[in-house]
Structures are given as C-alpha cells and as structure tokens.
Structure 1
C-alpha cells in the first residue's frame, strides 16, 4: 500500500487527538487531574506563571519573567506576580500601537448604496455620551450601530495576544464573565460597549463595591437586566430582574439563597466585627432591593430626561416607603425592623442596597471561591478560599481590594503547588497558540482580487471562535461562561478549536501569519525541533508519550537524531516544502495535546 502525505498527516492527527480527548476527559472528571494525566508532570512556577496567570507563554513574556530579580524559582515567581499586579508600571506601548494601527472592515448595503471600507478602531476611546449618539442616529444601519462592540472584540484579541500586562488581562476577562452582558442583546448595549469595557478595565484590580456601583449604572447592565425600566408600582417594585441577579450572581451567590424561607426572623445571623447581617438572602430581599433601585435609569430622552446615555436618577419613579434588605433579626423568630427609612431617596436607597450586598461575608465567600477557581483549580482547597476571604473582608474599603486578594491567592502555597487542575477554554487555547507561535494577527482589507465580499479576516476569526461555544461577549445568559473542565472537555469545543489551529492561518479562515518554520532553529534534529517547540509552547519538556509521539511523527521512520528528511512515495514528498509542512503539522498536533491545554 502506498503511503500518501494525507495518510501521514491524518494519522498523526488521529493519534494525538485520541490521546488528547482521553486526557482532557480525565481532567474533567477526576478530582486529581494531574494524577489522571500520567503523561504530564508537575511544572515549575515559571510554567504556572506563563500558563495560568497569562494567556499562555510567549518569547517576550518568558524573557520578562526571567529578567525579574530573584535567586530562587519561588522568589522569581513572587516578584513576577507583584510586577504584573503593578500593571500600570509595565510599558505596554507595542500592544497599544497594534491597537492604533488595527484595521477592521465594515460592509453593508443601505438605501441602495453599498459601503465597503476598512477603518481604524476609532470608537474605543469615545465617551459614553459620544457612543450613545451612535445609538440615536435615525435610520442608522445595524452594522454601524454595533461597530463599537466589534472594535472592542478586536482590541480584546490584540491585548490577549500581545499585551505585556497579561495577569491584568486575565482579570479583565474574569470580571467581564462575572458581570456578563451579551453585547448584542440590545443596540444600545452594542453601541456603548467600549464604555462598559472601560468600566471593567478600570476596576478589575480595584475595589469591588466601587466596580459594582459603576457596573449597575452602566448602559449595558441597565438595559441587559432591565433596571432601566424599574419604576415604583406593585408590591414588589417595577422590575426585579437586576436585583435577582445582583444577589444570585454578582454578590452573595445562589449558595446563599434560602429559597423556601418566607420569614426573615427565622434566618440565622452572621457577624463580622460590629456588623450584623442576615446570613443569607430570601426572595423578599430581592423584592426590596428592587424597590431600592427604582428610579435608577438612563438619560434616554424619555419622560423629560436628557438624551445623553448617562446614568440618571428619576426621583418620581422611586419607591420611598421603608424597606428591609439583609437585615438581621434581633432575636430568633422576630422579624427585623426595616433598615431603609421612609423617604430616604433613590440615590441613598440604591447605594446602600449595593453596599450591603457588596460587604456581606457571603459575598466575600462567593467571590473568593470564583477567583480561586479561575486562578488555581476547578475545585480549590478550602484553606485557600479562607485565606482569600480573610483578605477580602479586611480590605473591603481599600481602593486596591481586589489586587490584594489576587496577590494573596497567587502567593499562597496552594496556588504554587497546583498545576494541571484546570484546562483552557477554547479562546484561551487559541490565544495561547497565537502567543507561543509569535503570530501576527490580521488587518482587514476592502477586497481580495477585486472581490469586495472578501478581506474581512477578523469576522472569519470571530465566526470560527464562536462555533466552539466560547463566544466573546456573547454568552446568552447572565451567568457567564462556565469555568470548569467538565463543561469544556467535549467533542464540539475540542474538535472545533483543534481545527482552528490550522484554519486561522488560511486566507479564508483569518489570514493570521504564523511562521513556524522560520522560528525553528536551522539544523536541529527531529528530537531537537520537538524539544524546541515543547519548551516554547509548554515551557517544559514532559516525560511520557507526547514527546515520543511527536518525534516519531516528525521522523516518519527516519533517524530521530537527524533533521527531518524528505520522504519517498508521493510526487511532492521529496521537496523541502513537504518537510516544512511536517514541522508545521507537528506544532499544530502539539497544540491538540492535553499538556498544551492544561493550566
């Protein structure tokens, strides 16, 4: 039987893909993922820094890490974490320049005219008021209305791949997911999306209460969860959608919900210092919090309001009667008195409801668990959550509260001893591949060979990425994307992402420039090439099957201690291009391995 080049490539894909599927499934179901994947090994702290606290290693980021002072591996890691948390001191000019020079296509037909242009990302720095005017322009085509949102998606990819402030970008991604809003749910959200992105970026390592207030006031959250129409009327307020998610997702979490309680007096009391709270929330807390937020709306030109898109207090909509939110009962079985007095005003009621929810010990537990899950393990140890909780509560009034909590988590023994307890989500795997291969992301062009329907490379990338289920700013529900392996270790997410490692470099799949052969040092043996790319993509050389499989794939029966040789048996196999194709395929296969996906 004649062996064709297609046989070799497809056989290699099947071999590695089978190993990857088995390994990642083990991560998703095993309480001890590293042990389940016997073909990997514990990594150094450098590996943890590159692959869990960043969107993957890059030659530049590894050089930055190695340049930080510190004699031991642990000292170097500690210094690098603190350097990344002090992100404003990191020169990020190269990434900023890439954003400034980015070109994104827009093409549509409107009123018998066709617009086909490439434009810079000009909406990113626009004020909320300027962005809002994009929403109110009459007869504006949909492509123009959502253009600001599309520009933020491009900037997010550029920052994930090129920013030197990698830990900061990881935290921005975390908070976007925590305060999830589907950007295309409403044209007013899409039009003002750069403003929402700025809110998240401004407060990602700041104070949680301050961020919660600004998120609540944003156009995006106001329209996504309907508080924009929350008007006094009815026993439970006008619209409780936001208040429900405020408790269930944004602060205390569903674990602190007492679904079947109807009497506040029966709820245990939790204390922190001199503060006393009901230990959990019930539906009546949601109803009264919704009443507290009546009149919190947007200046959208209606009911005598200005038309600027700014946050607006509509006092005539506010429910000024007394309210009770998270108040403790003085004695068991005795209802607590209202802790919001009559005629308190819309601003005071709303701010106090948010403050009570933000400062609650249950909120600290919920948020610290999520942070530990994002930064350490799907099932973080209780000791680590307790450490984070203590720092969170101590610094509730600190302007850098979140930074202090993240530092405590990352410098803990638990964080330093856990590797492989998480896997990449699809976008993270794509960004890691692009970073490790020093890829050049595309710039759109108006047409290709005179065809104006071509040249939208960014839209091809976004479409492919969305098919994995990891939809940037596009998760349908307020919960945000799941952050556990048992959700993502499935055939759709894995196979579609594995395909993207190949398709993104094609003109029809993204036109990303990835010069794998050019970055491979010349004259290396098959084993040397594999080791070079293992170090580049994993930051270490694993013991076990992966290295052997990749070397054998590259050697194709030849001497693994010699450079890869052209093969006989097909017309093009004797060419240098065929050898180069094999090197590229080997790197793409490496990207499908469990070792590459583990974090």
Structure 2
C-alpha cells in the first residue's frame, strides 16, 4: 500500500479541474493530472478514441441489467409470457431497425421490453461516467443532451426506443465536432422528430413545435426573440439588409414549413392513400408532405420548388451561423464548464473562437479549449453546485466504489431531482446552482452519500478499508487520507475536528486506533460521508 505522505502536495487544483471537466478524479488521477499539467491533459481529452475506451468498454460488456415482468396482454388481447432474467446491454451495439418492433402496439409486448433501450442507455450513462478515461467527453455528452433535449420518458414510445442511437450516432459523435453538422444530425434524428412532433408535420398546416425550439433553445436563444417589439419581419433590425438580428413568430412559422416532410420511417399511414411508410426507424424525407411554396426566414428569401431537404438545410445554415447562436451557445458552454454568470469578456473571446472556426470539424473542441485555457477558468473559485448524477459519480470515483447496472440508478436519481433523459420540458435540466441548492434539494444532496455508502441504489459497492494506507493508524491520518482523496485538501480546523471525532470516538485523534475491524469500518464510512457533505465536495 502507499503511504499517506505520498499524497501530500497541491492537488486541490487538480480536483477542481477534474470535477469541472469530469466526474471527479478516480484513484491516482489527480496525481497524474499534476504530473501532466492542464494543457497536456486537455489535449488528450479533446481527441478521444471513437467509441468507448478499453476500460469503459469492458465495464459495459460485463454489465447485466435485470428485466422482469408478469404475463399480460396488450389492449388488443395479444399475450406475452412472464419473464425475469439478467440481460446484457444488447441494444448499445445494434442498429435501430433491429429494435423498432418495440414501438408496435399491435404486438403483445410488455412495457419493460418497449422501454428496454432507454433503460440500457441510462445504465450505460452511469457506467461511462464512472469508468471512462475520457471524462470531458462524458461531460460534453451530458451538456448536449440537455441542450438538444429529448424527453424519452414522455408519451411517444418512438423517442424512448430511439434514444440509444440518438446518444451514440448524434450526441456522442458530434459533442466535440462541428455545430452546423451537429444541428442537422439532431434535426433529422427519429428521437427528436418524434419528441417535438416534426415526424407528423405536413404542408398546410405545418407543426411548429420543432421549429420554435430550434430557434429558442437550440440556436439563437430566447434573448433573440423580438416578437414583443416587432410583428413584421421587415421591422426587425437588420432585416432589410438581409441580416435580421433576431427572430419573430413569422420566422418560426416559415421555418416550420421548411421542415415539412422530415419524418420517420415508422411504417405508419402515408397520408395520401392506403399505402404505408417504410419501416425500421430511420430518417425519412417525404416529398409529398413538403410545403414547396416560397418562404422567408430571418429575412432570407426561399425560392419555391427546391430540391429535397434544401429548405430545411437552408434554415439550419441560417440559424447555425447566426451571431445570436454563437453568443447563446457559447454562454451556455461557459456556464456549464465554469460559472453561473460568465463574464462578458470571456463570452466575447469564446464567441470569436466559435466564429473563426465555424466550419472546422473540431469547432466545439476549439471552443472548449478556449474556455479551459482562459484566465477566468484558472482564477474562478469552485462554487457551481454538482447535479445529482455528478454528485453520485464523483462519490464513486473518489472513494473507489464500483458501480453495477441496475434500474435503481434511474429511480434514485429521479428522486434526487434528475430524471435521466426525461426532464419534462424541452429546456433540459436547469444549469444554475440556485436550483440545486434549495432546501428540499439540500436534503437529497446530503442523503446521496449516505444512500450510496449503504448501497441503497443496489448499484454501488464501496470498500474503503482495503484502500487505506498502512500508516493511516490514527483518526487524524484517516481523515487526512480521505480528505486528500475526495477533495484534494484538508478541511479547516473546526470542521476537520468534527470529522476526526467520527473516527476517534472518545479517544485522542492522534492515538493509535484500537477498535474492532467492523467498528472501525463504520467509523471510516461516517467520516467519508461527512467529507462528501462538505461544500468543497458538493461544488465544482
């Protein structure tokens, strides 16, 4: 075993960075970060391997997730048998067509089978957060899942079934790539098409749900919504010169028309005769559903009768390269990676990088680099509250706890305020500390390490004593060891003494511990839980 003395040194900065840009340092990672330095570590994170790294891949391959249900029938009387088995995360490596049968209501299929792809993705998300060597990618995947949010727990089973492929083929693939390519991949994916109802959008009238969220959430942002000031497109500043500074409802309506016919090959009625759409869950463009007449979006004229997909792609060009989009998305990235209220100077510098590399394949990676290497990143003290998944994963990583695939992860995180891939609004999770630090939330936050230590989630295994160094033979040394492991520093004296007393009991904190193994293990667990409740652990 290592010596406690081997852990001394300034590793607090490493903990801060690895908690902002990851889910906290696993054993030995803070020391490796100090040895590498921020820039070298960052470059490795910005160029991850395709797919999962070896450690995460092995954990995913080994994972078994229980599926159990009683015998039953669907509404049409089609029966299915009872089942209770441990099954691997099989959907992750498949193609969507292989699992599209889960969306068919004319089949006798248990609900647990229908939502199995979503259940597997939820467990895979936990495993990747715990095991992946590319922690920054996991943070960026989380960011983009909230920016381009799909509530897979809603009414449309197609969104639920499609989620693993939305995660793999869109969010993970493009999370450090090019925004313009990213936004088209989002707009044409069955998960988003189902969630925001564009799959059913046809000419006269178009469904505006997707188009509205495209403007308001995905690109220009609410700050560029000028409908309260202008109700005619030509009155919007810059419009007559072809550079509208913001958008109004007319832009939303016209953009919705541009996306008519962007749908899903789901085998449904084609809307024209007794024919059916192709099946299998892929993106489908239905030219017969498209509104081919002229349009005007952001003061840009669209000629009638354009080639397939051209209208929608022109809208995506307009919004992806709009100045308001650069400001909106860069502000959100700064907020996610650094602080609730980024400085204007930082955002402006990051926007400049965004615009300079607008067509680069690694545009987003360049923007992330600009944020992380900024003076503001180096000088800003920790203060942004970890969300429940971050809190749980940083606990497992800093304590060396192992995680297992279990549906209880999803239930427990939802109880803590973070439903996985099921936030009810298209905004995605709140990303300001005030939301996560309310009175009710604080109770959940303090309970989190207690529940994890007791394996209440049925998904963790914590073995603290096996990780203790040989010379951690006093309460003071035990607390010093775990303080460095979990937060990279020792607490101030008043709080440190409280934690030390949890280990020492009535004895001197500097005296050799002389209690039974079981009693000592319980005391160490209480100390670790106490450290996890500290502000230094709760924020990043």
**Corresponding residue of 1:84:** 45
Question: Would you say the 8 A contact 2:475–2:504 is kept in 1?
Answer: yes
Higher mean displacement: 288-297 or 419-428: 419-428
The runs of 5 or more residues in structure 2 that have no matched partner are 1-9, 73-79, 271-275
1:259 aligns with 2:227: yes
In the other structure, the counterpart of 1:96 is 57
Q: Which residue number in structure 1 is paired with residue 86 of structure 2?
A: 118
Partner of 2:186: 215
* RCO higher in structure (CA 8 A, sep ≥6): 1
SS in 2 for 1:384: helix
Answer yes or no: is 1:138 the counterpart of 2:107. Answer: yes
1:300 pairs, out of 263, 266, 269, with 266
Q: Is the 8 A contact 2:388 2:413 kept in 1?
A: yes
Q: Measure the CA separation in 2 of the matches of 1:508 and 1:541.
A: 28
Q: CA deviation at 1:420?
A: 1.3
Query: CA separation of 1:59/1:276 partners in 2, compared to 1, >3 Å: closer, same or farther?
Result: farther
SS of 2:265's partner is strand
In structure 2, distance between residues paired with 1:511 and 1:505: 10
Superposed, 1:10-49 pairs within 5 Å as: 44-49=12-17
Using the size of structure 1 for normalisation, the TM-score is: 0.82
Out of 537, 541, 545, the position equivalent to 2:494 is 545
Displacement, 1:383? Answer: 1.0
Q: CA deviation at 1:564?
A: 3.8
Query: For the residues of structure 1 that align with 2:385 and 2:174, how far apart are their CA atoms?
Result: 26
Residue 508 of structure 1, CA deviation: 5.2
Matched residues in 2 for 1:257 and 1:511: separation?
44
Contact 1:555/1:565 (<8 A) preserved? no
Q: Residue 302 of structure 2 corresponds to which residue in structure 1?
A: 340
Name the CA distance, whole Å, in 2 between partners of 1:544 and 1:255: 46
TM-score of the aligned structures, taking structure 2 as reference length: 0.91
Post-superposition CA distance 1:467-496 (Å, at most 9, x none): 011111110110000011100002332222
Q: Which residue of 2 aligns with 1:494?
A: 442
RMSD between aligned alpha carbons?
2.1
Tell me how far apart the structure 2 counterparts of residues 134 and 511 of structure 1 sit (CA, whole Å): 27
Aligned to 2:470: 522
- Give me the whole-angstrom Cα distance separating, in 1, the residues matched to 2:423 and 2:235: 37
Distance in 1, Cα, partners of 2:390 & 2:374: 24
The 8 Å contact of residues 238 and 290 in structure 1, kept in 2 or not, is answered as yes
Report the Cα distance in structure 1 between the residues aligned to 2:149 and 2:383, rounded to whole angstroms: 24
Alignment correspondent of 2:311: 349
Matched, 1:127 2:95: yes
Q: CA deviation at 1:62?
A: 2.4
Deviation per CA, 1:392-438: give whole Å up to 9, x if none. 11111111110010011111111111121311011110100000111
Contact kept? 1:503, 1:510, Cα under 8 Å = no
Correspondences of 1:75-474 after superposition (within 5 Å) = 76-88=37-49, 92-111=53-72, 113-136=81-104, 138-185=107-154, 186-198=156-168, 199-233=170-204, 237-260=205-228, 261-269=230-238, 277-301=243-267, 302-303=269-270, 304-327=276-299, 339-442=301-404, 458-474=406-422
Alpha-carbon offset, residue 89 of structure 1: 8.5
Tell me by how many angstroms 1:561 deviates: 1.4
Q: Which runs of 4+ in 1 moved over 6 A?
A: none
Conserved 8 A contact 2:15-2:30: no
Structure 1: any 5+ residue segments left out of the alignment? Answer: 1-41, 69-75, 328-337, 444-457, 567-574
Partner deviation per Cα, 1:45-72 (whole Å, 9 max, x = no partner): 423321111111111432442442xxxx
Distance in 1 (alpha carbons) for counterparts of 2:239 and 2:507:
69
Distance 2:20 2:386 in 1: 9
Deviates more, 1:237-246 or 1:300-309: 300-309
Measure the CA separation in 1 of the matches of 2:508 and 2:391.
Answer: 32
Displacement of 1:92 in angstroms is 2.1
- What does the per-residue CA deviation read over 1:525-578, in whole Å, with 9 as the maximum and x for residues that have no partner? 211111111110112224353323212332234212123444xxxxxxxx4322
Task: Give 1:593's match in structure 2, choosing from 516, 531, 534.
Answer: 534
Shift, 1:460, TM fit: 2.3
What are the Cα deviations for residues 430-472 of structure 1, in whole angstroms up to 9, with x where unaligned? 10000011111125xxxxxxxxxxxxxx122321211011111
Q: How many residues align?
A: 513
Q: Say whether the 8 Å CA contact 1:468–1:494 is kept in structure 2.
A: no
Please report how far the alpha carbon of residue 322 of structure 1 lies from its aligned counterpart in structure 2 after TM superposition.
1.3
Change (3 A) 1:249 1:511: closer
Q: Distance in 2 between matches of 1:544 and 1:319?
A: 70
* Change over 3 Å in CA distance of 1:418–1:90 after alignment to 2: farther
